[in-house]
Amino acid sequence: MIISGVVVASRPEHLSEIRDEVNGLPWAEVHFSDPEGRLVVTLEASDLDESMDRMKTLQAIPLVLSASLAEFCSDGELT
């Protein structure tokens, strides 16, 4: 399993809308947000390819300006 920490950026007026959409994903959770429009999100994935696909899903959410990997950890070897 891979756990990734991601910083998602949006305009402040869209923050609650994006937070709700991210929290609606079964493999993502918002842990923090700030008034400037940034969210700290964790993603769970079974492998590196799935992790990258999930990052792309976050980046494709309407009104998301960016989603950047901050940290990740794996419970096994990466292939």
Q: Residue 74 has what pLDDT?
A: 87
Q: Residue 65 has what pLDDT?
A: 97
As to burial, measured by CB atoms within 10 angstroms (0-12 exposed, 13-18 middle, 19+ buried), residue 50 is middle
**What are the structural domain ranges in the chain?**
2-74
Query: Alpha-carbon torsion 25, 18, 9, 36, what sign?
Result: negative
pLDDT in tens, the chain (79 residues): 999 999 999 999 999 999 999 999 999 999 999 999 999 999 999 999 999 999 999 999 999 999 999 998 988 766 5
CATH of 2-74, one of 3.40.50.40, 3.40.228.10, 3.30.70.920, 3.50.50.60: 3.30.70.920
Q: What is the 3-state secondary structure (H, E, C) of 47-74?
A: CHHHHHHHHHHHHCCCCEEEEEEEEEEE
First-to-last C-alpha distance (Å) of the chain: 12
Q: Residue 33 has what pLDDT?
A: 95
CB atoms within 10 A of CB 79: 7
